[in-house]
A and B are shown apart, each in its own frame.
Chain A
Amino acid sequence: MVQQFVTFRVDGRLLGLAIDQVREINRVLDIVPVRRSADYVRGVMNLRGQVVVVLDLGARLGLGPMTIGPGSHNVLLKQEEVALLVDEIGDVVEVEPPALSPPPANLGGIAGEFIQEVAKLPDGLLAVLDVAKVLG
């Protein structure tokens, strides 16, 4: 069965999430920092009256804190009222199961534990994130 992934980039790396795990993608970047919380908690934002925690995906994956730029977006998850801050949004890609393989111990500086599987795309490798791990 063909699987669909939402792709995005953090620190230049191509990452993806299964499409059914993503609620929405937005550009609400008025993020209020929450001090004394984990370093990968970017802050909280008001999403249509709901308070949503934004995680700094760069910090979370060990790539270092991100800076908000023109391409920054929030990927809002379905599983929990949490958004992941990403540098750039890519496409929705379709991947045939044979193109999927288990993750290596480390993929471009990202610890393998955060990666569920790796998909071979024509233009490179897509690291599909393990949402549960990323949420901690």
Chain B
Amino acid sequence: MAGAVDEALLKDFVLDSHEHLNAVEPDLLAMESGGCVSPEAIHRILRAVHSIKGFSTFLGFDPLTDLGHAMENILTLMRDGRLAPHTEVVDALLAGIDRLQVMLRDIQAGETIAPCPETSRLESLLAEVELSPTGSHQCTLDGSPVLEAPSGRVTLRVDGGEALGAAEFTVERSEVARAEADGRSLFALWIDPEHDLSARGVSPESFRANLESIGQVLAADQATDQAGWRHWLLASLISDPELLAAAVEVPPQRIHPVAYSGQPTPAAEPPAVAEPPAPRRGAVKLRVAGRGELDTLELVVERRQVELAVQGIHCLYAVWVHRERDLAAAGRSLDQLQQAVASVGRVLAVDPDGPGPWRHLLAASKIREPDTVSLAYELPGAQVVQLPSQVLRQALGTAAPAQAAEPAQPEAPAETKTPSKTAEPEAPAGQPSPPAITAAPETIRVGVPLVDRLINLAGELVLSRNQLKLLMAGGDGGQGAVERVIQTVDLVTSELQEHIMQLRMQPVGRLFNRFPRLVRDLARRLNKEVELEIHGGEVELDKSILEQLTDPLTHLVRNSVDHGLESPQQRRALGKPPAGRMVLRAFHQEGQVHITLSDDGAGIDPERVAARALEAGLVTPEEVQAMSSGEKVNLVTRPGLSTAEQVNDLSGRGVGMDVVSTNLAKVGGHLHIDTRPGEGTTMLLRLPLTLAIIPSLIIGTGGQVFAIPQADVRELVRVRADQASERIEKVGDAPVLRLRERLLPLVRLSRLLGLASYYTDPASGGQQPDRRVRLADRRHGLDYDPEAPEPEPPRERRAGSERRRRFAGDINVVVLRLGANRYGLVVDELFDTEEIVVKPLARHLKESGCYSGTTIMGDGRVAMILDAAGMARQAGLRFSRIAAREARRRERARQERAAARRKTRSVVLFSCAANQYFAVPLASVAHLEKVAVQDIEPVAGGECIQYRGTGLPLLRLEKFLPVKAISSKATHLFVIIPRGPTPVAGIAAAQVVDILDTDVALRPYRGPVPGLAGIAPLRRRLTLFINMEELLATFVDQA
């Protein structure tokens, strides 16, 4: 069978299934987060699972079918409102989906798939739901039919057929549930009090007692119904109606099993039948062919018990008991044997007599070791055989009695899990081994409209070609006609290219869709609350980029949940909402796709990263000191660095961020980390739209042409030859370009690649080949002294004095982006931007480290595609060093600016005694008055002068400040009148020296003196700066 499954079918199956699954996941998540179940969502999921299951059944992947079936069961319950989408349920379903995916992958890889624990998890969940109607799972208990009775009671109606009529029992729901949980079976009994009891001298009481000895009477009619029946509802461990009939001495016709789900079974067959009893609905016939001397065991058990066994709730054992050896010789009866094993399980079915020496039992036990069970039975191990769930499943699967289980042949009875031959005669072996589709080429699903468009375009191209042929063959029309055709070809080609590229484009939503799930799982495991927002799922990316992006992005998301976001407690303490917020966004910018992942978590502490990097020995203290905080943060992308306080199973093993950057670099992407400690982190991933055809800058150096992906190019700078000496300087040995107050390290491509490079001998002025080939060999390095002019001869001549400090021609600098860093690539010539077709880099070319691929230019020549990161590495660029210089420079500039910002104040400089100078801000002075000493009037506790018709108190500084008084010999004083509507006092001064502007910084005076702002040298004299307001306030206080 397996061989007949052709590969195309398998591929379709895998592909279809993946698509179904992808479609399902958002629904599952929505279901849980929303709490309410949208019927459409469940329906969609159910449909998806059902489709997969259906296909899988067809192909014979049993474990997958089983899993699908289990999921379907749960989903059906949910759809019917009998099961709420609890976390537990959703988790189980999600785990199931995961497993399905794993199985699909295995199938695709041609491996066999095994039954999985997820199936039993789902099944036990199902069993739980069905067993605990009153529990947390809401479900109805099916009688036939079920009538809701008040106060947790259910009414079971059992139809006994024409002869008996219907019986109705109203019982406690919990009692029924408990009975079922205990593995008891429910039976309805129709008793004719007269014939069945009185005639045989049995009182109803003793009948009841008899019943209670083998079970529990759940309900009993107190009176007979019109037909003369009294009904009993019995829950018994005996599951076989015949057996029960014998035990209670009631004709078997009057005993009906009550099924919980579905109709009661039809009237039981008479007990004594020569043929094995035909399995009834709700019952399963199990046939197990014994090994060696054992004969074939054939027993009928309740279907439910088999199902429980399949679900792994318990195990079923086939037991062979020898009439002589095990019973007679041991002096025990079969009943006694059954009693003996009550501790290990219970007997579901027994075959007490038969022609052969063997008696058969089917027992259920929670014990999974057959040896233990056989010990408990005091039977040889070979006589107790655990029935593998596959056998049971087949028994269940064959609903029709005629097809009831084929011999299940455990290989060696003591062996437990050996799957036996399957029931279906046409099935060759237990697990069909699927044909391998190893190395299956990937496939892309394409919309039919796109295919149609491509076909149309191909048609147009053919038409144009024919036209051209015609024209070439000497048709008329001339030049104009050719041009028109060429134009068409041009248009069609562009469109064709565009559409073909579209084939590879896929929405990033495919990738994003996995994250709600991931975040949710992670958050649960870490006890965090996370709200994930996703935008721009429709943005399209090349398939291969999307695939390469999976790992890095997953890692970033994990990191963000794990390290970025704080626990709800921490967040509350910080005044943040307890639920962390993550935003995943994709959008187009600058011809690239940008993906940002932002969180409002703790952010990355640059110092901590730096400290970790130091600890790990990734950087030296000197390097750290020279780093900007942005660079420190970017240390996280170095291999072997993790900032997690503790390593857990999610992240923090020190791998990952480097994987992120490597994987991104592989697809021409960049990672930029923007973080604000305490506020959050934003990871920006810049990605090219596609890998196959990329817009590139074409440059020339040393007569060769190269391409640089446009995505790496930040800007183009042309340094004029006469500015080179001032704009290009050196940090250490490395040349840097001053660009808008930043220092840009320079790499000269010709040097890096060892292309034709000449230098002018300063002595002779002649040109000689430069022997320094490697830029890393920096004895002279890339410098812009005259020793290293451009290879081409100078285009213009300059004055002799300039000659030694200039370049031959302008310098073309391509500013390349490298994560957070930038550097300048010095090239000879800049050409256009072109769309180039990327060809992978051949093996032999990889070791150069400078290229990322090859392409073929319009002229047919091969051009190498330069790799920005690789070149920086090869050139040995040390960004930290440059950054240190830059930081120092910025600091200086900052100081200068700060100084410039500091307010220059105008002050009035005055003195009272020799060599004692004071300054008051001019802004606080309204007026300067010169008064004669004799005009100063003494008043109570002070002095007064006449000012604008009123008396103005005179403030003498010596009374407030530790200064000398004005000489008593002075005939005139100057009074400084403060600004304000009604001045409090005027300050007496011996002399006003000057009014001047100053930006001098004040130093504090020894100890705080009210009224004194500070001291500073002014015109080389130590000057006391007066705080006018404070001084006047002090004066008022004293007055």
Contact = CB atoms under 8 A, between A and B. Distances in A.
Whether chain B is bound by chain A comes out as yes
27 contacts: A30-B860, A32-B862, A32-B863, A34-B864, A35-B753, A35-B754, A35-B755, A35-B848, A36-B752, A36-B849, A37-B845, A37-B848, A41-B844, A43-B862, A44-B842, A44-B862, A44-B864, A45-B862, A46-B860, A46-B862, A49-B856, A51-B842, A51-B855, A51-B856, A53-B844, A53-B845, A82-B842
B631 to A, nearest CB: 27
Contacts of A46: 856, 860-862
Contacts of A82: 842, 844
Interface in B738-765: 752-755
Chain B interface size, as a band, is: 20 to 34
Given A81-B842, A82-B842, A34 B856 contact: no
A55 interface: yes
B704 A32 contact: yes
A37 B854 contact: no
A54 to B, nearest CB: 10
Interface residues of A, number: 23
Contacts of B862: 32, 43-46, 51
B807 interface: no
B843 A44 contact: no
Nearest to A55: B844
A61 to B, nearest CB: 16
Interface string A46-77: 10011111010000000000000000000000
Nearest to B841: A51
Contacts of B755: 35
A44 B850 CA distance: 15
A53 B839 CA distance: 12
B851 interface: yes
Contacts of B467: none
Given A38-B844, A41-B844, A44-B864, 11 more contacts: A34-B848, A35-B755, A36-B849, A44-B842, A44-B854, A51-B839, A51-B842, A51-B855, A51-B856, A52-B842, A81-B842
Given A30-B861, A45-B862, A51-B862, A37 B847 contact: yes
Nearest to A44: B862
A32 B874 CA distance: 21
A53 B704 contact: no
Residue in B753, B854, B855, B862 with the greatest tally of chain A CB atoms within 10 Å:
B862
A76 to B, nearest CB: 13
Interface in A22-46: 30, 32-38, 41, 43-46
A37 B704 contact: no
Nearest to A35: B753
B842 A36 contact: no
A36 B848 contact: yes
Interface string B143-177: 00000000000000000000000000000000000
A62 to B, nearest CB: 17
Contacts of B704: 32-33
Given A44-B854, A51-B839, A53-B842, A38 B861 contact: no
B874 A36 contact: yes
A20 interface: no
Contacts of A51: 839, 842, 854-856, 862
A11 interface: no
A82 B842 CA distance: 9
Contacts of B851: 34
A81 B856 CA distance: 16
Interface in B716-774: 752-755
Given A45-B862, A46-B861, A53-B845, A36 B856 contact: no
A55 B874 CA distance: 23
A136 B844 contact: yes
B802 to A, nearest CB: 33
Given A36-B753, A36-B848, A36-B850, A80 B843 contact: yes
A49 B854 CA distance: 11
Contact of B847 (A32, A38, A53, A80): A38
Q: Pick the 7 closest A-B CB pairs, nearest first.
A: A36-B848, A35-B753, A44-B862, A37-B848, A51-B854, A53-B842, A51-B839
Nearest to B839: A51
Nearest to B864: A34
Contacts of A35: 753-755, 848, 850
